[in-house]
């Protein structure tokens, strides 16, 4: 019996070459980045080829999934598998951020105090264990630390507002108010774009006016690692919501069948929660 003739409840998508193709594109791209860092002149071109190949594969992969979903081929089993997959994906992201927050905690609460202890006074007699710090050798040069006002606080308001607008959109979709759902989802995407624009402005300000760069000791590296990794997740979540918005405008989803929306919403709320922790730990403490 063909997949199209099976009951939607039992349908399982056929395995395809998409995962292998995506893996090849990703390996080419990442390998080229490594060679790019090591000054190989041709590496940027192969990195671009790998990126384009990956995007091309993802476009067709997700296109097949959307076509199967809109064709009524996804039942309860497939829906459940997607929910578990998204849950584990978000869990893996929690582990990433846990490691990065752990690195910040170790630098501030353990390594910094060890370097400022009596055991190291003979080596660095003028070192003061105060955060933020230029390091005992002060190799990075003097820099100014980031403050929570105004950009980080404005960005916090933007992300919290986007979580609210996304929730309103979700409830509107569940009540089958499609126009309302589209309007509030568009507002969510717009708020995400504003967040990224302001973060870019913040980075420009840090590099050009505060002398705060990735090379600014452990403070600079952890600051840009945490905020940059989070910013990438805002971009990724915004991309998901944009795809969902386009699908909604095209008439996809029903009040009872819209997990693509729900999965993207889970991810966006996760990004909001991470930012709250980052806002307090990085900018205030």
**209-267 pLDDT tens trace:** 999 998 888 899 999 999 999 999 999 999 999 999 999 999 999 998 899 999 999 99
Task: Please tell me whether residues 93 and 56 are part of one structural domain.
Answer: no
The angle, 0 to 180 degrees and rounded to 10, between the axes of the packed helices 151-174 and 178-209 is 160
Task: Please tell me whether residues 130 and 168 are part of one structural domain.
Answer: yes
Task: Please tell me whether residues 52 and 193 are part of one structural domain.
Answer: no
Residue 158 near residue 194, CB atoms below 8 Å: yes
d(CA 191, CA 83): 26
Q: Which residue has the tokens 């002149």?
A: 41
User: Looking at the whole model, is its pTM more than 0.75?
Assistant: yes
By C-alpha distance, which of 234, 228, 191 is closest to 207? 228
**pLDDT at residue 9 greater than cutoff 60:** no
Answer with the one of 74, 100, 122 that is the final residue of a domain. 74
Per residue in 95-149, pLDDT (tens digit) is 999 999 999 999 999 998 888 888 887 888 888 888 988 777 666 678 899 999 9
Task: Please tell me whether residues 49 and 113 are part of one structural domain.
Answer: no
Task: Please tell me whether residues 60 and 83 are part of one structural domain.
Answer: no
Task: Please tell me whether residues 129 and 255 are part of one structural domain.
Answer: yes
Task: Please tell me whether residues 85 and 207 are part of one structural domain.
Answer: yes
Question: Total domain count for the chain?
Answer: 2
Answer with the one of 74, 97, 122 that is the final residue of a domain. 74
Between 88 and 70, residue with greater pLDDT: 88
Q: What is the pLDDT of residue 52?
A: 94
By C-alpha distance, which of 238, 248, 242 is closest to 177? 248
Answer with the one of 74, 94, 119 that is the final residue of a domain. 74
Q: What residues make up the domain containing 217? A: 78-284
Task: Please tell me whether residues 56 and 93 are part of one structural domain.
Answer: no
Task: Please tell me whether residues 220 and 264 are part of one structural domain.
Answer: yes
Task: Please tell me whether residues 122 and 228 are part of one structural domain.
Answer: yes
């Amino acid at each position: 019996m063909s997949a199209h003739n099976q009951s939607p409840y039992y349908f399982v998508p056929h395995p395809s070459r998409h995962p292998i193709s995506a893996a090849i594109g990703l390996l080419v791209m990442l390998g080229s980045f490594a060679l790019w860092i090591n000054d190989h002149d041709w590496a940027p071109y192969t990195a671009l080829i790998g990126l384009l190949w990956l995007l091309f594969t993802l476009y067709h992969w997700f296109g097949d999934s959307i076509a199967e979903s809109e064709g009524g081929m996804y039942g309860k089993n497939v829906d459940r598998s997607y929910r578990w997959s998204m849950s584990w994906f978000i869990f893996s992201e929690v582990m990433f951020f846990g490691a990065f927050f752990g690195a910040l905690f170790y630098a501030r609460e353990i390594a910094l105090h060890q370097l400022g202890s009596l055991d190291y006074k003979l080596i660095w007699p003028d070192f003061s264990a105060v955060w933020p710090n230029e390091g005992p050798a002060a190799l990075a040069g003097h820099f100014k630390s980031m403050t929570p006002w105004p950009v980080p606080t404005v960005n916090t308001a933007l992300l919290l507002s986007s979580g609210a607008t996304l929730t309103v959109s979700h409830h509107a979709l569940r009540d089958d108010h499609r126009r309302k759902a589209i309007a509030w989802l568009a507002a969510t995407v717009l708020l995400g774009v504003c967040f990224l624009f302001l973060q870019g402005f913040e980075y420009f300000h840090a590099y050009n006016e505060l002398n705060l760069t990735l090379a600014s000791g452990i403070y600079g590296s952890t600051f840009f690692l945490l905020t940059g990794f989070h910013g990438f997740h805002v971009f990724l979540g915004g991309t998901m919501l944009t795809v969902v918005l386009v699908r909604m405008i095209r008439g996809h989803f029903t009040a009872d069948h819209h997990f693509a929306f729900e999965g993207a919403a889970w991810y966006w709320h996760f990004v909001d929660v991470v930012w709250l922790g980052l806002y307090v730990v990085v900018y205030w403490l």
